Structure formats: C-alpha cells, structure tokens
Amino acid sequence: MKRLMMLLIFLVIGAVAGGGYWYWQQSASGAAPEGKAKGKGKGGGGALVVKAARAIVKPMPVLIEAVGTVEPEHSVQVRAQVSGVLQSVLFKEGDTVKAGQLLFQIDARTFKAQYNQSLAAMARDKAQLENARAQQERLEPLLKREFITRQEYDVAVTSAKSLEASVQADQAAAEQARIQLEFASIRAPISGRTGTLAVTPGNLVPAAGGGTPLITINSMDPILVGFSIPERQLEEIRRYQNEKAMRIEILPDRAGLPAAEGKLVFIDNTVTPQTGTVLLKTRVANTKELIWPGQFVNVRIVLTVEPEAVVVPEVAVQPGQEGSFVYLIDGDSKVQIQPVKVSRQIGNEVVIASGVKAGDHVITEVPQALQAGAAVRLAGADDKQGSGEKGKGKGKGKGSKKGEGKSE
C-alpha cells in the first residue's frame, strides 16, 4: 500500500513539473516575436536624440594666466623714536589713516623741559654776545687813539666770537630738543590701513632699534600684484607690453568677474633657476579694497584680442589618445568624429585653432551609444515636431465629437 502511495505521489509531481515546463516554453516562444517586433518598431535602427550647438565666430582675447599674490606698494612699521610712557592711542586697529595723522602720544614732559632749558641757555648766551659786541665797539676807537693796547682789544674780539659759537651751539641744542619733543607725538608716515596694535596705553615704549613695531601700515590704493610666468612666455609678453590693448586683469575667483585692471610695471631682471619662472608685477586701482595684501588671486594677462575666433562650448570638446576631437553633425544628420586643435579656453568656451568652422553643429551631450556614422536628430527639433502632431490629433477629435453630436 505504501509503495502504491509513493508511486502516485511521484507521478503527480512529475506531471506538475512537465506541465510547468511546457507552459514556460509556450510563453517564451510566444513572447519573443512580439518583443522583436516592438524593438524594431520603436527604436531599433532609429536616430539618436542629441543636444548640439553651433560653432560661432566672435572676438576673443589672447591670454596668459597665472596665480599672483597681492602686496602693498608701501608698507611701514611704525616705531617710537624716543623712549617714554605711552599716554594715548588715537585710532582703532584696522582703521584707515592719512599721512600726518596723529596716532600715538608719548609722555612729553621730560622733552618739553629739555627744550625749554635749551631755549634759556640760548637766550643767556645771546645776551652775553650782545654785551661782548658792544664792548668790542667801545674799544675799537680807543685802540685807534692808542688809549688801549692791541691785546686788550683782541680779548674783546675773541670773547665776542666765542659767544657767537655758543649761541650757534645753543640753537642746535634747542633744535634737537624740539625734534625730540615732536617725536613724542607719533604720526602716520603714509596713508593706508592699520594692522594689529602691539602696545596699549600705560606701557613704556622703547626707542627704535628693535622689537615689535607699534603698528604696521599698508597702503591699499593703488596696490601691487606679483606673479610668475614660465620663461618661454616672457618673449611674448615683452612683444605686447607697449601695446595699448594689453592689460592685466585680477580675479579673486577664477569663474567670476575681474576685480581690478592694471598695467605691467615690473619685470624682474633674472630667471629663477629652481622654477624657470620670471617675476612680474602690476599696479592696480583698489578704491573699494576688493583685494587684500597677502591674498592669492588669479591673474589674466590679455595680450591682444583676436577679432574672428571660432568658439565652441567646452562640453563639446572631447579628449582622445591622439588629441582633442568633437562629434560633428553633417548635412545628412550623421555623426562624424572631427579632430580639432584647441587654441585656448576662456571660461566655458573653447577657441578652436583648426578642425571646425563657423556654423558647424557640434554635439554637446554625447550619448553612450553614439558612434561615427550614426543617425541623430536634435532634441529641440524633435520636441517641436511632437507637439505639432499632438495638436493636430486633438483637433480631429473635437471635430468627430461635434459631428457625432449632430447626428444624434
């Protein structure tokens, strides 16, 4: 009995398996032709939809690009020239100051006393000089009448000359004391922006000769930008440096607009052996202080402007083992691989030296299946065609409904 049951179970399992296999074969054989028909009718052998742009002709600059460092044209470390206690600071850190503006005041009482003392000594010696000259004038006629000896007269003359020298020395001492008194008031030597304050009021300030400066002032407008270029480009720059069209643009952000423009003001007289570069500098206006000393900026040297340059979008140029190339669409809407020679890139545009002419269609978005000789159609043209067909069908539908309404 058990053997019979086992046999029946095996028979049922075999039947189910066979039926399932037969059904799978039938469904697979029936779906394959339908799939082939769908693929052939919908996309097999059809044109690929691509996006493209035309090569255009427009004026484009001839550039040399570099990275530069902003530096002040004038930078002064302000130090005290006399020692004393700092009484007051008459500005705030980071303020813009003008040349001659009072910045620091040192206790000047000692220097004022010395100045007054030198003035008093000079006044005393001047009085003695006047008396000596008067004595000389009185003795001169007496000498002529021989009422006095020559020796007595010579003593009077010598005394007058000695006092003249003393007065001159007093004048020099008074001038020195006056200068020391003026040094107690520290003024800005140049116009510019101040940095970090090193000393606060109440501290003893040493005379100049070392140590940390009281403040550093950097001139901000105009300002210099130093940059280095390879030595092979120096000849090209020297060829155009006297041309009016040549200018230098400073860009804090490479993708942004220039913050300043200037002219070349300095070319170093030697090539750096370690790097093979030459240092150059430009002076630019910085009225709005858009660039800052010590800042790294992008430098764009515009040598000249090419009036008729062939330009394509950057995304259209593809890299290859044998050089750059573009996918070109010919008159039959077929794709051609066209090698090109790239002259330079400016922003999102590439200047083509050869390989593409104005009006050529270049593909800007390359599908993965794109190959040379493939048929393509532009995405914009396909959309317009589809929208026109849709509008036409809609009009027919309205007409049929209207007619049906009448017949009813």
| 3-class secondary-structure state, position 97 | strand
Q: Which CATH class is domain 66-73+219-303?
A: mainly beta
Give me 320's structure tokens: 């290859």
pLDDT per residue rounded down to tens, the chain (408 residues): 556 566 667 666 766 666 665 555 554 434 333 333 333 333 445 778 888 899 999 999 888 889 999 999 999 999 999 999 999 999 999 999 999 999 999 999 999 999 999 999 999 999 998 998 898 888 888 878 888 888 888 888 898 899 999 999 999 999 999 999 999 999 999 999 999 999 899 999 888 766 789 999 999 999 999 999 999 999 989 988 888 878 999 998 877 788 899 999 999 999 999 999 999 999 999 999 999 999 999 999 999 888 889 999 999 998 988 889 999 988 888 888 989 999 888 878 899 989 898 988 898 888 877 888 888 888 765 444 444 444 444 444 444 344 344 433
Superfamily grouping for domain 108-183: Helix hairpin bin (1.10.287.470)
Q: Which pLDDT value is given to residue 408?
A: 33
Contact 91, 97 (CB under 8 A): yes
Give me 62's structure tokens: 């001839």
Q: Which CATH class is domain 49-62+308-380?
A: mainly beta
How many Å apart are CA 226 and CA 293, to the nearest integer?
11
Which residues contact residue 102 at a Cβ distance below 8 angstroms, ignoring those fewer than 6 apart? 90, 185, 186, 187
Q: Which residues pair with 336 in a beta bridge?
A: 328
Q: Which pLDDT value is given to residue 3?
A: 61
How many Å apart are CA 233 and CA 280, to the nearest integer?
12
How many Å apart are CA 107 and CA 176, to the nearest integer?
17
Q: What is the DSSP pairing of strand 48-54 with strand 376-378?
A: parallel
- Size of the chain, expressed as the number of residues it contains: 408
- CA distances 383 to 99, 195, 331, Å, are 68, 62, 20
Give me 285's structure tokens: 């206006």
Q: Hey, how many other C-beta atoms are within 10 angstroms of the C-beta on 325?
A: 17
Global pTM reads 0.64
Contact 217, 75 (CB under 8 A): yes
Which residue, among 148, 151, 155, has the nearest Cα to 132 in the 3D structure? 155
| 3-class secondary-structure state, position 386 | helix
Q: Which pLDDT value is given to residue 103?
A: 95
Cα 299–Cα 73–Cα 213 angle in degrees, nearest 5: 125
How many Å apart are CA 304 and CA 62, to the nearest integer?
5
Domain boundaries, the chain: 49-62+308-380, 66-73+219-303, 75-106+186-218, 108-183
By CB atoms closer than 10 A (0-12, 13-18, 19+), residue 390 is exposed
Which residue, among 180, 176, 189, 163, has the nearest Cα to 76 in the 3D structure? 189
Contact 192, 219 (CB under 8 A): yes
Q: What is the DSSP pairing of strand 247-251 with strand 75-78?
A: unpaired
Q: Which pLDDT value is given to residue 4?
A: 58
Which residue, among 218, 225, 221, has the nearest Cα to 285 in the 3D structure? 221
Give me 102's structure tokens: 């009072």
User: Which architecture, in CATH terms, is 75-106+186-218?
Assistant: Beta Barrel (2.40)
DSSP code of 294? T
